[in-house]
Amino acid sequence: MPDHLDIIFAALADPTRRTILSMLLEDDMAVSDVAEPFEMSLAAISKHLGILTRAGLIAQEKRGRVKWCKLEPDALKAGSVWMQGFGQFEPVNLDAFERFLEGELRTD
């Protein structure tokens, strides 16, 4: 479990990846649509998506010729459970987390 938590928290540490998660809150997106708002190459976005996929935060699937990304919010539960173990944090409200991510997307 600790190794998996390292992967999740490392994935969440990058602002580009947090923005991508915010974008996927609305709906599944094609990789090209995910890449559109960023000033970086498609290869760089693909690396970010790979990190998110390995962390279990998103899933990718091919539909026809297009690769799609889908948010996997249950992956955040492991981090939430770990933080709650310290007793300093209230249970993570996924609705509140969604609002936080939306706010992060608007401020960028």
Per-residue pLDDT at 2 = 56
- The model's pLDDT over 52-94, given as tens digits with 9 standing for 90+, comes to 999 999 999 999 999 999 999 888 888 777 777 776 656 667 7
Structural domains of the chain sorted by starting position, each given as residue range(s) with its CATH number in brackets: 2-107 (1.10.10.10)
- The model's pLDDT over 12-66, given as tens digits with 9 standing for 90+, comes to 999 999 999 999 998 999 999 999 999 999 999 999 999 999 999 999 999 999 9
Per-residue pLDDT at 54 = 95
Task: Provide DSSP, 79-108.
Answer: HHHHHHTTSSSPPP-HHHHHHHHHHHHHH-
Other CB atoms closer than 10 Å to residue 17's CB: what's the count? Answer: 19
**76: three-class secondary structure by DSSP:** helix
- Stretch (H or E) spanning 39: none
Q: Where are the alpha helices (DSSP H) in the chain?
A: 2-12, 15-24, 31-35, 42-54, 76-84, 94-107
